[in-house]
Structure 1
Amino acid sequence: MIHLRQITKRFGPQTVLQGIDLDLRPGEFVSLLGPSGCGKTTLLRIVCGIEQADLGQVLMQGQDITRWPASQRRFGVVFQSYALFPNMTALQNVGYGLTELPRREATARAEEMLALVGLADQQHKFPAQLSGGQQQRVALARALAPRPRLLLLDEPLSALDAQVRHEMRTEIRALQQRLGITTLMVTHDQDEALAMSDRVVLLAKGQIAQQGAPRQLYEQPASALVAGFVGRMNWLDGQVVAEGRVRIGTALLDCDTSAYKTGSVVRLGVRPESLRLLDGEGAMIRARIDALQFHGAVTQVLMRCDALGSALLLELPSGEASGLTEGEMRGLRLPARALQLFDAPTSMRRAA
């Protein structure tokens, strides 16, 4: 539906976006994820028409809309700040952009949209009389009221507290699927992107580092940068010593080394939930529990492993962690299938 071709944007000497190619398919929910300053909001503003690219094209169903103003594109936008008019009721805010409809039809459409987001009984309240979550629903209803071709969400949940944010991301995703509207969302919250999206596009330094289904980015990251940003990761530095063997500290670990030659200096990553604790004294790798942090269903276990020369973070179901104590020594297993190898930083390779 939307095709971005070689989008480049500069602000003075700084290149914010460099040659971005991206397609949005009909009915798809795509999240632009990345750290602050990576260019994700600028890219959304270019799609919207608020910003103009220095180079490249924005195509909609094959038609070049690169120079169209935002008003001509008919995209719905929900901003981080909601941007509601404080002197208008919820109903008036939602109906504000329906100027092409007769007044009675516009009011009926606004009422329909407020009912859709569960605020039929709040239509005569002003924004100051609504909670943050309710204001967000009004902003969403206003964006959807003109039946937009594309829905754009700019950090829509960042101003909400954790519980409301979790509820709203479920509601927005359900509504998007019900309406079948193509949606592009900007977020720096990885949990948000993984939970809501059909596809996640990770931006770094103005370029696409990787894009794909949420599970693909989490389980098959293309680089250490992606692996470190999408989910938590333990990092261990070592060297490939033979086919299928990597030395980390004084320990030898089994893992897939097919992408590296023997002697290569590598960075090994393993997810906290993939590590396993063992009972008994016979374990080849042993570690000391330094700290336990209870997080409801999950307990984080910080361990110090001398053999690996590193601290490791484990995540266990709290029921499994209930018998652990700080200072305790336990065996540790790093399953070969859970270990991922990446290129070591240049400074490490030079030192080796």
Structure 2
Amino acid sequence: MAPSTMKQWVVESKEKDFDGLVYKDAPVPKVGESEVLVKLHAASLNYRDLIIPKGQYPFPSNFPVVPGSDGAGEVVEVGSKVTDFKKGDRVATVFNQGHQYGPVNIAASHTGLGGVLDGTLREYGVFSASGLVKAPKNLNALESSTLTCAALTAWNALYGLKPLKPGQVVLVQGTGGVSMFGLQFAKAAGATVIATTSSAAKAEKLKELGADHIINYRQDTNWGETARKLTPEGEGVDHILEVGGPGTLAQSFKAIKYEGLISVIGFIGDGTGQDQPTILDALSNICTVRGVYVGSKELMQDMIRAIEANDIHPVVDEKVFTLDQTRKAYEHMWGQNHFGKLTIKIN
């Protein structure tokens, strides 16, 4: 039986720093007939989690809200109408709880965990049975907790619109969660991977993960042209996981192949003082530019089958925080001191 009370984090308000984050006691939520009570064992952070309390998130959010979209744990109780899960099942959360199949719509975009709905930075959570998936058999809880947002976003970028084919070229930017998953998924598919980074130490880790070519973007500010030259006959890159936004998009246009796909995922790069591309650059470079907002439960289940079949293990930062250290984890990640996914051990 679950206890009657638990610890949880709450974003109570938007603040300049993380002062709106509060750690408090709360009652363990009750299970409805179509719901599942999960004892959460781990959670992981995304850039999104950092900007919600800062009031910079461009998608729907409510306050107060329990933060965190990404979580993994164990089923401890199920409602009377639940047939997909049973006590003891290992599960992971779905990002937009209402996004079950096909393209995202406005209604589904208003069901984000940790933004609109209470998320995973707590000891226990009640979720709709449709808002969970069975965790991969080959992953532990910390690893499974990284799949909800970053992994599914990378999978959607590579398979949601124009599925990646063996022998194609993928460019990933930096060493954050989406880029690391993109690298691993691309290598498993038989693609060539070009990765950009800012340091020799991170370059070594990228090599270990199988990156075929590595470009230091601080040393080579025209890395888009360099990436293009690394592709067969200099035609350009088939898929780009664009996480920098204003600071990197101009170079992505230089690297992309005719009929290639630029998946716009983030906006962490600083574009100050740069000439910004316009939408007409998609025409002059004959490519598709697509915004990616995570993905559906159906797509997540496809991804999990691939993770199990290829025994893919997420890149988890060696520093693991505990639930009570969550604010320190936010500050650690904001300082870009992590490599891969930053995780929080809960139970």
- Normalising TM by the smaller chain, what interval? under 0.3
Q: TM-score, normalised by structure 2?
A: 0.27
- Which structure has more RCO (C-alpha within 8 Å, separation ≥ 6)? 2
Which structure carries more strand by proportion? 1
